[in-house]
Structure 1
Amino acid sequence: MNIAFSPTTQSDADTLVAIRIAAMRESLERIGRFDPQRARERFLASFDPALCRFIEVDGVQSGFILIRPQEDHWLLDHLYILPEHQGKGIGAAVLRDVFANADAQRMPIHLGALRGSDSNRFYQRHGFIQSDEAEWDIYYVRQPSQPKVES
């Protein structure tokens, strides 16, 4: 599996919204919150193409990631893999890349996941610890790994 990241532009907004809706649809329907228009508006209200990257697997657009660097942490604001590409280790591979970069800069990673979504188990499996919760979301943090000391 060859994973690459490619830049996004403002003109990719509709494609990104479609990926987000496809990835979240089942979880949102499960809790009675599926509203494509709201999903579109929420994404576009804070979309920054400079921070967003398509995830391509063997040359096929499979999802996207958007990380917002903050002063004292990184906010993993969006990580979506299209349903037909889920369960193949793509998300885990993307997180390994993110973790390597965050660890090198000693940055914690924060994120929120929709309550009831399978993404909660995914993030917990990858070392995120619940830090807070709200009506619709559960918030997580992952602290940077300690550097290995050579003896």
Structure 2
Amino acid sequence: MFIPDLAPDLTFPRLDPTQANLDFAFAVKRAAMEPHIIKKWAWDEAQQRQIHAEHFAEKPFFAIALKGERIGTVSMQSQVSYVRFGEFYLLPDHQCHGIGARVLDHCLSIADEMDVPVRLEYLRWSPVGSLYSRHGFIEAGRSDLNIFLQRPAKSVRESA
């Protein structure tokens, strides 16, 4: 999958599977997620690195670059009947400034062009749920750890 640039200032270069890109993506995840993870568990660096390395190997990662500076990551993966959205992290200095909403809108517009639903999950106690609900996601399920969301395809939303 490819994420086109978002004028005037955001680009989404694909992160090739290099150690430097893995380290960058992990550093962003740690900065964004550690405060939420430690609400329930201690931060286990080795375990978190292992989980992240598995995710990095399994799906396409893209940097989120603002005026050329890498400030976050996102993953979009086209499945048979939906788009999987995830690994969406911004460095703390770039959170709560509307960048996340712009990136999410942009990625959702790509799925709308494909006319497929978008699926994602997030930690139950993470505040990001309000962002997703404002963008039309509805709960599709939950576990002890995660809330699973889906945003219906454009044609379904328009016919409702």
TM-score by length of 1: 0.89
Aligned partner of residue 76 in structure 2, secondary structure = strand
Q: How many residues of Structure 1 are paired with residues of Structure 2 in the alignment? A: 149
The separation in 2 between residues aligned to 1:6 and 1:14, in whole angstroms, is: 16
CA contact (8 A) 1:67 1:76 kept: yes
Match of 2:127 in 1: 118
Change (3 A) 1:6 1:49: farther
Partner of 2:141, secondary structure, is strand
Give the secondary-structure state (helix, strand or coil) at the position aligned to 1:10: coil
Say what the alpha-carbon RMSD is for the aligned residues: 2.1
| Structure with higher strand content | 1
Give, in angstroms, the shift of residue 37 of structure 1.
Answer: 2.1
Q: Is the 8 A contact 1:129 1:142 kept in 2?
A: yes
Partner Cα separation in structure 1 for residue 38 and residue 55 of structure 2: 23
Deviation, 1:102, is 0.3
Q: Quickly say closer, same or farther: Cα 1:124–1:117, change in 2 above 3 A.
A: same
| In the alignment, structure 1 residue 9 sits paired with structure 2 residue 44 | no
Q: Offset at 1:49? A: 8.2
Which of residues 100, 103, 115 in structure 2 aligns to 1:91?
A: 100
- Residues 58-96 of structure 1 show CA distances to partners (whole Å, capped at 9, x for unaligned) of 221110111121101111131111111101111111111
Query: What is the alpha-carbon distance in structure 2 between the residues aligned to residue 36 and residue 125 of structure 1?
Result: 33
Judge conservation of contact 1:7–1:50 (CA < 8 Å) in 2. Answer: no
Percent identical across equivalent pairs?
26
**Residue 77 of structure 1: aligned partner:** 86
Which of 29, 51, 54 lines up with 2:38 in the alignment? Answer: 29
- Match of 2:151? 142
| Deviation readout 1:116-148 (Å, 9 max, x if unpaired) | 00111221122111110011111000112249x
Residues in 2 aligned to 1:26 and 1:136: alpha-carbon distance in whole angstroms: 15
Whether contact under 8 Å (1:7, 1:53) holds in the other structure is yes
Q: Is the 8 A contact 1:7 1:49 kept in 2?
A: no
Gaps of 5+ in 1: none
What CA distance in whole angstroms lies between the structure 1 residues aligned with 2:137 and 2:127? 14
Instruction: Tell me the CA shift for residue 15 of structure 1.
Output: 1.0
With the length of structure 2 as denominator, give the TM-score of the two structures: 0.85
SS at match of 2:71: strand
Q: Is residue 2:51 matched to residue 1:42?
A: yes
